[in-house]
Structure 1
Amino acid sequence: MTRILMVCLGNICRSPLAHGILESKLPADKFEVDSAGTGNYHIGKLPDHRSIATAKANGLDITNQRCRQFERSDFDNFDIIYVMDQSNYENVVKLARDTNDISKVKLILEDASSTTPQEVPDPYWGDSKDFDDVYALLDEVCEKIASELKK
């Protein structure tokens, strides 16, 4: 079983969407996907209502997810840790114990085409269009990730 963790700041906007999208593209008997935030602002809460609405509009239900904070033990529990931006990358790597831990952490858009931004923009202060744009960006990259993982 390959275990994948999606990480953003609060675990209410980007990482729950990435979690739901990638999970929908991978066979559950071979892959487990989860999400977390580097901050502790929303522990135990549902994803942002706009993320839930955007996911639902695209045929996904993410209401089974609950926000949690990234922990050092996640390095032991996950094979790949995708972060949404450079700030998340730095916060996760600060908790790493060694180079093996660091080698698991990747910017989710790192391997995407050079025409895409290197960071997933945080839609929190935006409107529904910003959530739709983030969904489209994550859907595209998760399609590539799922395709690679299934090989």
Structure 2
Amino acid sequence: MTKILMVCLGNICRSPLAEGILQSKLDHKLFSVDSAGTSSYHIGNKPDPRSIAVAKQHGIDITKQQARQFIKQDFIDFDIIYAMDNSNYDNIIALAENDAQKSKVKLILNESVPEQNLDVPDPYFGGDNGFEKVYKLLEEASEKISQQLNSLT
């Protein structure tokens, strides 16, 4: 089973959406998707109600997710780690103990817009439209990821 981890800052907005979107596109017997945050701000919390709402509008239920913090063990437990932005990418890489661990970490939008190193904007302090924009960005990247992963099976 290939295990994929989505990582943002608090694990309540972007990474829960990314987890739900990608999981909806993959065979649950072959792939596992989880999410985490680089901070400890929201440990144990459900995703932001606005993330839950936008996911639901697109037929995805993320209500059972619970925020947790990224830990070094995640380098061992996961095959691919997607960071939502450059800041979180840097925070994850700083915890890596070797090049093999570093090689697992990627910026998610590089899947849909290669080599641009673009950030998924954090919609937390914005309006509801920001969550829809984030959904669309993650949907596009997740479609590319699922096509790549499904072609390997």
- Tell me the residue number matched to 2:32: 32
Which residue does the alignment assign to 1:19? 19
Which residue of the partner structure matches residue 42 of structure 2?
42
The CA distance in 2 between the partners of 1:82 and 1:128, in whole Å, is 24
1:112 Cα deviation from its structure 2 partner: 1.8
Report whether the alignment pairs 1:105 with 2:90: no
Task: Tell me if structure 1 keeps the 8 A contact 2:83–2:108.
Answer: yes
Q: Distance in 1 between matches of 2:17 and 2:111?
A: 19
Note the aligned Cα RMSD (angstroms).
1.4
Query: Higher helix share goes to which structure?
Result: 2
State the AA in 2 paired with 1:78. F
TM-score norm. by structure 1 comes to 0.97
Aligned residue in 1 for 2:85: 85
List gaps (5 residues or longer) in structure 2: none
- Equivalent in the alignment of 2:2: 2
**Percent identical across equivalent pairs?**
59
Q: Deviations over 1:39-59 (max 9, x none)?
A: 000001100010000101111
- TM-score (normalizing by structure 2): 0.96
Query: Whole-Å Cα distance in 1 between the matches of residues 125 and 6 of structure 2?
Result: 20
Structure 1 runs not aligned, ≥5 long: none
SS of residue matched to 1:134: helix
- Runs of 4+ with >3 A deviation: none
Question: Does 1:138 pair with 2:138?
Answer: yes
